[in-house]
Structure 1
Amino acid sequence: MGNRLSGKVAIVTGGSRGIGRAIAERLAEEDAAVVIGDLHDDLSAEFGKAKRPTFMSLDVTKEVSVREFVDYVLQKFGRVDALVNNAGKVVHKTIDEQTADDWDRLMAVNLRGPFLMAKYVAPEMRRSGLGTIVNIGSVEGFVVNPWHTAYAATKAGVHGLTLGLAVDLGPDGIRCNTVCPGWIDTDLNRTYLELHADRSLVERELSELHPLGRIGSPKEIANAVLWLVSDESSFVSGEMIAVDGARSKKISLPATLDEEYRAKLTKAC
């Protein structure tokens, strides 16, 4: 535990589980007062080694809910220094199977949500002349998995939102960046792997897709977020930072040509 965020107030949306929870824990470990906004309170009595964050119900798709949430944070803490827009949703469907409701729901959670949060938090950051916003995007804003048309569109939109906020809010001393996770070992992803008959084979093949030879952990995303909300990144704004073990940087090859590379990778790991 450290004190890099001592005296600062940080909001984490979707922070009750998965990557969001890891982010909330990491920021709290550095002495930030963390407020989690989520639809469900999944926090246990024990919250890592840090003090338990404050929880308030939040639906990022509803403007009234966002406004009430920000008002609550200001009444309780008097300021907002960092906003982490983590709440997100994914749908696995082909374009033929996707409905307009599927599309609208993903847009509402993944893109409208970060917009609304930034809209209501930015004026408070502007008053202090400092602040940082971190959006959780995805490598699928650059490259896309099958059946993720709507999801990829929302994450590309988040990347564009980040650029706009960085430019518009920069003169007010507010920075905005995006962390783009690759395949991360979350409960959701583990559940997906359990659907396959040979889970160990899928896990091995997933690891081999990454030049580092493994998938990532939620804490590795949280560490990147911590750096971006800390003063250590004070001249970094408008960036999309991939945390994916270089997976999105490796050009695919036919299996016969890739065999030697994969063999070396397996041996190294």
Structure 2
Amino acid sequence: MKRFDGKVALVTGASSGMGAATADLLAEGGARVFTAQRGGTAHESIPADFSDRATPARVIGHVEQAAGRLDILINNAGMMREGTVEETSEEDWDAQLHLNLTIPFLLIRAAMPLLKASKGAIVNTGSIEGLGNNPRHPAYGASKAGLHGLTRAVAVDEGQHGVRCNAVAPGWIDTPLNEAYIESLGDPAQFRREVGRIHPIRRTGAPEEVARLICWLASDEASFVTGQIYTVDGGRTAQLSLP
């Protein structure tokens, strides 16, 4: 018997990267997997425009109608726009807070009756930028710190109903978005060498390495784990810079 047999999972932002890897691993583990994003056809894909606040309730309603239950909710969809506080427009601020924090809240709220019924699990994709910050990411860092706080709040309030809520805080992961950024630089190979050096294990991470942690947190193997933020960054945040 596989560890997710009989389980129904929803993964947002699963068209590529960590979301796609997580959806694949859940399916390999026996789960019936729904995904929600603008594009993509993997698994049971639900077209979703999360700029619309009505979308989360519609997506959860689709899963309930199709499967009759929900055991696992993975809030992975997110975005980042660069700029200092002075450079960040209210539009950019609102867009990042909306997708990275408000949409997970709305999905969790809409899904809670189903998750209570199944004593389900929620895993949110936070970031090491919810713990510290890279330059020129005020809205992104604020949204991820908020998502970490929401994770703990849901765990505290809903644990009595058997619902667990945790988050992962990835560091530099080789997603298509990061790869496109590297390729846009003057010397991609040099940048890859430099970014590898800031990690004690001397490399960046693969989406599957984050997905394996997400799936463990969503599984019954983590039945006594809730309200936690798990850093998965190759030791980057543990390593002090040289004087």
Question: Considering the TM-score relative to the shorter chain, is it more than 0.5?
Answer: yes
In the other structure, the counterpart of 1:22 is 21
Q: Deviations over 1:140-192 (max 9, x none)?
A: 01111100011000000000000100000000000000001100011110111
Q: Using the TM superposition, give the Cα deviation of residue 59 of structure 1 relative to its aligned residue in structure 2, in angstroms.
A: 2.8
SS of residue matched to 1:164: helix
Whether 1:229 aligns to 2:218 is yes
Distance 2:56 2:101 in 1: 14
Counterpart pick for 1:71 among 39, 61, 81: 61
Q: Which amino acid aligns with 1:98?
A: T
- For 2:115, the aligned partner's letter is M
The amino acid across from 1:24 in the alignment is A
Which residue number in structure 1 is paired with residue 131 of structure 2? Answer: 142
Q: For 1:82-231, list aligned pairs within 5 A.
A: 82-128=72-118, 130-231=119-220
Q: Deviations over 1:181-218 (max 9, x none)?
A: 10001111011111222211110111110011110000
Amino acid at match of 1:243: V
Aligned 8 A contact 1:24 1:34 in 2: yes
Q: Write the distance in 1 (CA, Å) between the matches of 2:113 and 2:51.
A: 19
Residues 47-58 of structure 1 aligned to structure 2 (within 5 Å): 53-58=43-48
Instruction: Tell me how far 1:127 sits from its aligned partner.
Output: 2.2
Gaps of 5+ in 2: none
Unmatched runs of 5 consecutive residues or more in structure 1? 44-51, 255-269
Counterpart of 1:181, as a letter, is: P
Residue 252 of structure 1 and its aligned partner are, at CA, apart by 0.9
Corresponding residue of 2:234: 245
Equivalents in 1 of 2:4, 2:117: separation in Å?
A: 19
Confirm or deny: 8 A CA contact 1:61 1:112 kept in the other structure. no
TM-score between both structures, scaled by the size of structure 1: 0.88
Shift of the alpha carbon at 1:62?
Answer: 2.9
Q: Deviations over 1:218-249 (max 9, x none)?
A: 00010001100111100000000001011011
**56-65 or 169-178, which deviates more:** 56-65
Matched residue of 1:252: which SS? coil
- Structure 1 or 2, whichever has the larger Rg, is 1
Q: Secondary structure at the match of 1:251?
A: coil
Give the SS at the match of 1:83. Answer: strand
Alignment correspondent of 1:261: none
Name the SS for the 1:11 alignment partner: strand
1:49 is aligned to none
Q: Percent identity?
A: 44
| Superposed displacement of residue 61, structure 1 | 4.2
Q: Report matched runs for 1:247-266 at 5 Å.
A: 247-254=236-243
In 2, Cα distance between the equivalents of 1:105 and 1:115? 15
Whether the aligned pair in 2 keeps the contact of 1:139 and 1:182 (CA below 8 Å) is yes
